[in-house]
Structure 1
Amino acid sequence: MLYGIAAATSALLLAAVLSALLRVPALRLGVVDRRRQRPLPLFGGVAVVTASCAVAVGGDWAGVTRLGDGVGRLLVAGGAVALLGLVADVRRVKARVLVVGTAVAAASVVPYEETGLGAGLLAVGWIVFVTLAFRALDHADALAGTVGVVTAFGVGACAAAEVMDGLAVLLSVLAAALTGFLMHNWHPARVGLGACGSLFTGFVLAASAVFTRAGYGLASSAGVLFSLTAVAGADVLLVVLGRRLTGRPLLRRGPDHLAHRLRRTGLTPPGATVLLGLGAFVGVLVGVLVHLGWVARSGVFWVAGGALVLVLSLLRVPDYPPRGSVSTQVRGQLRVRNG
């Protein structure tokens, strides 16, 4: 217990300090997100990955809390995915490279002896989906980090219930590291998570959730896993439906995600993040309670219904501001000023 508190505190402080220190090097190297009104340095993900791995591995090396072979392999695979994301932050990487790289990492950590080959392959696909969904969720200040913290606590509770102490410690450390990063990422953000941090977060959370559900029924596991990541799944569904209906390419970036549309309803950026964070909390809470057997499996359908209602409601909100609107004019002025 005391070690868990100390580890979480260390990860939080380390991530907060590194996020501040790495901001200037990211700006000087040009590792920034240029989709915003001002370039946003993207080494916040490096801070989260470094803090999470350093604290978790340090505890295992000191013999305080053993991660175990499975969790150690998960951390190595997550580090590889984070490295791939860092390359994507520094230079353009095709989407299929990210998909294949994440799939290889996922295939190396799935516990096939407990899931079986068929369910294991489905788990690989689900891990890839959630990992890339978290990258897409990093479209607004503090959103991916907030949802990541909530999800990490939920999956960590499931791991603790299964007496997976090493996994529970890793997830608590990840939640703490994301919290330290959020000190610099809340609107207006001073540093961003980037592909490095968002892919690492999504991968670790998805793979950890698979570990906690290994050995359970496929149908019930699918419901729990969906509830734990409902907001990320809803964001992907909204983008896919919106772009299909308007005939736009699926892989082209655009202001048509959850937080974008919520802001066009009148919410402030922090308001949209808080609302989606609350939605993630509800989904995670239901998933944990179903996993523990305290709530019937039908509770998952309420989460799915709520996510579907949100998506269908936001589809009615324009995904792009109308021509001549204030935001369009502002962006036009910024283009002129930036040459």
Structure 2
Amino acid sequence: MREYLLTLCVAAAVTYLLTGPVRKFAIAAGAMPEIRERDVHREPTPRLGGIAMFGGLCAGLLVASHLENLRSVFELSNEPRALLSGAGLIWLLGVLDDKWGVDALIKLGVQMVAAGVMVFQGLTILYLPVPGVGTVSLSQAQSTLLTVALVVITINAVNFVDGLDGLASGMVCIAAIAFFMYAYRMWYGYGIDQAAPATLFSAVLIGMCLGFLPHNIHPARIFMGDSGSMLIGLVLASAAISITGQVDPDAITDVTGSARATTHFMVPVYMPLLLPLSIIAIPAADLVLAIVRRTWNGQSPFSADRGHLHHRLLDIGHSHSRAVLIMYFWAALISFGAVAFSVNSSSLWIVLAVIALSAAGLVALLFPRFRPRAPRWAESFVPPRYRRARREAQAAAIALVESGQAPGVNGATAVGERALLPGRTATDRQPVDSRR
């Protein structure tokens, strides 16, 4: 565990330290696209954050290759090299897209090529346990198609959900933590050495996301862009493919005692093959809904719009930070719920806890205007927006502005003051464009 934590910290530190220089480079290179109608930010923000994340990936794998217990992953398996090959192609594609823009069909083609490169180097799915049937060995054609499909789906699911500050990196970090727990348990709990690459990939991915988050939380100083979103999507898919394709279920049967128990134990890790339901359920659902919505409206499935789940949270009145936290909550509930279910699938307490947390999530989702108020003795320990005195002063200022009793205040200032009040919708919170 200590070596995994060291690898995680190295990936996080390198990503964090590189992000500042990368931001300056992105500004100098002009990788700051104009504000689009579907964007929620109101100032041009540099992209190319994926450059720093790719540096964190390389640094994490490099350090791991020199650690005593993790060196065997590189000596006995070709999967780390396969991951770097596919990640390099995806990262280069993302950098070009962040700077100049790349056609959607070209992006899809390169994604399939990157997945094919990883399959060619051995990072592929070999076994598929089906509940009630048992373990099914896949042919080479079936294995290739299933692997490529999983990679492409995961990459685009993460790319689609990257619409708010800190959303994609935070959700992938949550999913990677859950996946790390599962893979680590398979390796040390069941003695399955083939689970070591997936555990390593998950640890490095956690570090990449944690290192980038401080620069990307609202208000973001830099965006990861497609160079980052597609990269972390590919790493997440690689971890799922590694543990799925290389772990022989017969080895687990020696511990569980029956093929049926093995199949049920392996089901949570095979959910990502169907539609990443347990690991990236929210991004996958957003991906499916976006494709259906755009196709129904006669648009290309790859055309951008403002109908994603995070956009809808803003439209019903949630603030930027609250919308991100709600998405975090549901991602954590599904991911960690799947891991808990894999540990003890017959526990009634797990089911009841998931139901209770789901109900709490629905309450938070349906009350966008609710904002907690801290007691007066705790106001010095909470952010200013939760302090009652500040809220009352804002309300009084707005009342003066609207009544016309405040001298020297124009309409634009009134709108600006009104936007500070809690409980306003996302449209009300948008600052006024002085050029109009």
Q: TM-score, normalised by structure 2?
A: 0.65
Alignment partners' CA distance in 1, 2:244 and 2:329:
24
Shift of 1:248: 4.2
Deviations 1:153-180 (CA, angstroms, capped at 9, x unpaired)? 1222222133223431232122122111
Question: Does the 8 Å CA contact 1:52/1:173 hold for their aligned counterparts?
Answer: yes
Structure 2 CA distance for partners of 1:97 and 1:264, relative to 1, 3 Å: same
Deviations 1:318-337 (CA, angstroms, capped at 9, x unpaired)? xxxxxxx9949969947x57
Show structure 1 runs of 5+ residues with no match.
315-324
1:151 aligns with one of 175, 197, 203? 175
2:333 aligns with one of 265, 269, 282? 282
1:111 aligns with one of 124, 144, 148? 124
Alignment partners' CA distance in 2, 1:260 and 1:63:
46
Q: Which moved more, 1:197-206 or 1:325-334?
A: 325-334
1 or 2, which has the higher helix percentage? 1
> What residue identity is the alignment partner of 2:340?
L
Question: Does the 8 Å CA contact 2:271/2:277 hold for their aligned counterparts?
Answer: yes
> What residue identity is the alignment partner of 2:215?
H
Matches within 5 A, 1:75-114: 75-107=84-116, 108-109=118-119, 110-114=123-127
Question: Does the 8 Å CA contact 2:87/2:114 hold for their aligned counterparts?
Answer: yes
Partner of 2:314: 263
Question: Does the 8 Å CA contact 1:85/1:195 hold for their aligned counterparts?
Answer: yes
Shift of 1:43: 2.3
1:235 aligns with one of 286, 290, 312? 286
Matches within 5 A, 1:180-329: 180-214=211-245, 220=267, 222-223=270-271, 225-290=276-341, 292-295=342-345, 327=427
Alignment partners' CA distance in 2, 1:238 and 1:33:
26
Shift of 1:285: 1.2
Alignment partners' CA distance in 1, 2:202 and 2:113:
22
Alignment partners' CA distance in 2, 1:149 and 1:326:
26
Partner of 2:386: none
Q: What's the % identity of the aligned pairs?
A: 24
Shift of 1:237: 2.4
Q: Does 1:8 align with 2:13?
A: no
Partner of 1:71: 80
Question: Does the 8 Å CA contact 1:19/1:43 hold for their aligned counterparts?
Answer: no
Partner of 1:141: 165
Shift of 1:186: 0.4
Alignment partners' CA distance in 1, 2:13 and 2:20:
11
Alignment partners' CA distance in 1, 2:33 and 2:163:
10
Question: Does the 8 Å CA contact 1:106/1:207 hold for their aligned counterparts?
Answer: no
Alignment partners' CA distance in 2, 1:77 and 1:326:
39
2:47 aligns with one of 39, 42, 53? 42
Partner of 1:31: 31
Shift of 1:95: 1.3
Question: Does the 8 Å CA contact 1:71/1:167 hold for their aligned counterparts?
Answer: no
Shift of 1:199: 0.5
Q: Which has the higher contact order (CA 8 A, sep 6+)?
A: 1
Alignment partners' CA distance in 2, 1:154 and 1:62:
24
Structure 2 CA distance for partners of 1:75 and 1:328, relative to 1, 3 Å: same
Count, aligned residues: 318
Q: TM-score, normalised by structure 1?
A: 0.82
Alignment partners' CA distance in 2, 1:208 and 1:57:
17
Q: Which has the larger radius of gyration?
A: 2
